[in-house]
């Protein structure tokens, strides 16, 4: 239901995203969903909250349905103009999910779609929120999204190992700084290091055979 593009009048629109990219997006979102539920549990959230976060996280990138295949599947490093367009997926996803009024999962998913690229240190987008201005659900999904993306092959770079991905989260690299993440959420991830690896490998082994490329 949530994976069909919607027009301004609320009707179903023709999909912009091609089928291989849609399959990869579904896989990424499902993996982030399971990772997010595990992190929520490690933070001590109750079972209902963990389930709710896991379900809502499965739609965090739905706004990419409205981003062109050319941008999503470009094998070159993204240029500034295309990056500005790509960043709009947060707004598109928020608006897409707002249509499903009265659905508590869609309401939380709408907030996560809007905020999952906000950063603890205020360097994220679309609004430059920081610290507790960002919902705890979005702070959880943010780090799971980065980890899963690092572990996946993308058109513009190869996947990296679990150990290398954890090093990026904890120590940083040229694109990622640990100051971007809520310290408590990052600590929770490090406590379930092995489980994180196992979840990713299980999700991608089970569902990854048909996935395509994409940002």
- Could you give the residue numbers annotated as active site? 64
Alpha helices, H only, the chain:
19-42, 47-57, 69-72, 80-87, 89-98, 104-115, 136-151, 162-171, 183-191, 193-207
> Of 134, 124, 143, which Cα lies nearest the Cα of 39?
143
3-class state of residue 97 by DSSP: helix
| Phi, psi of 161, rounded to the nearest 5 degrees | -75, 165
Q: Is the torsion defined by CA of 163, 114, 155, 79 positive or negative?
A: negative
Counting every residue, how long is the chain?
215
Exposed (0-12), middle (13-18) or buried (19+): which is 53, by Cβ within 10 Å? buried
Per-residue tokens: 67: 């981003």
Which of 118, 119, 168 lies closest to 148 in space, CA to CA?
168
* CA nearest to 215, candidates 78, 27, 106, 123: 78
Residue 3, SS3? Answer: coil
């Amino acid at each position: 239901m949530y994976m069909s593009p919607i027009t301004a009048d609320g009707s179903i629109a023709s999909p912009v995203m091609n089928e291989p990219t849609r399959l990869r997006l579904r896989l990424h979102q499902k993996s982030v969903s399971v990772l997010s539920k595990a992190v929520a549990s490690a933070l001590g959230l109750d079972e209902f909250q963990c389930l709710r976060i896991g379900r809502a996280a499965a739609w965090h990138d739905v706004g990419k349905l409205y981003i062109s295949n050319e941008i999503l599947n470009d094998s070159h490093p993204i240029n500034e103009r295309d990056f500005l367009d790509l960043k709009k997926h947060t707004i598109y996803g928020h608006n897409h999910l707002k249509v499903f009024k009265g659905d508590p999962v869609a309401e939380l998913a709408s907030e996560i779609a809007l905020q999952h690229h906000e950063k603890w240190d205020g360097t994220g987008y679309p609004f430059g929120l920081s610290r507790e201005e960002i919902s705890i659900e979005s702070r959880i999904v943010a780090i799971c999204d980065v980890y899963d993306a690092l572990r996946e092959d993308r058109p513009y770079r190869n996947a990296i190992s679990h150990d290398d991905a954890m090093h990026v989260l904890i120590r940083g690299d040229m694109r990622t700084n640990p100051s971007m993440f809520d310290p408590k959420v990052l600590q929770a991830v490090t406590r379930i290091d092995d489980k994180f690896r196992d979840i990713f490998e299980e999700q991608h082994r089970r569902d990854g055979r048909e996935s395509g490329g994409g940002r």
